[in-house]
Structure 1
Amino acid sequence: VPDPVVRSPEDLHALLVSEGVTVLSQTPSAFYALQAADALAPEPRLSLEAVVFGGEALEPQRLAPWLDAHPDSPRLINMYGITET
């Protein structure tokens, strides 16, 4: 994914939709920004089946808006800390 797209939550959202991405690995900070972009563009829908978080601590309470908007939410997997111990 080109760097300018990665740095733009709106462009990344559009790419994920157009490519039908089903598995996404992101830092929580990047996902929070993507979550905001998704809230602004509820259609078309993402095809995500799993989101893997790593690289920094996840704040689960910040996912509440995502979970409310996506009752059929993909699996959310927190991988942070597994290799840090």
Structure 2
Amino acid sequence: MTVSVKDRVIAIIAEQAVLDVDQVSPEMRLDELGIDSLGLVEAIFAIEETFDITVPFNANAPEKSSFDMSSVASVIAAVEDLVAQSA
């Protein structure tokens, strides 16, 4: 069985939030999951490694990034886009 991008991203975010996968849903915001700036950076590294992509993200100024890390759904959409571009 192939694991979807969505499921892998949710697993990465859940790990950073120290939650079970079933406690993380697409409509949730990363800040409400308790993911701080270090957790964001670690999630980005995990996403890059898992999907063999480069995330255009500036941890020092996340509001200036084209990679939206505000919600689980926005991260999933951005990763899906980057994966499609790299294919």
Q: Which has the larger radius of gyration?
A: 1
Higher strand share: 1
TM over 0.5: no
More helix by share: 2
Q: Calculate the TM-score normalised by the size of structure 1.
A: 0.29
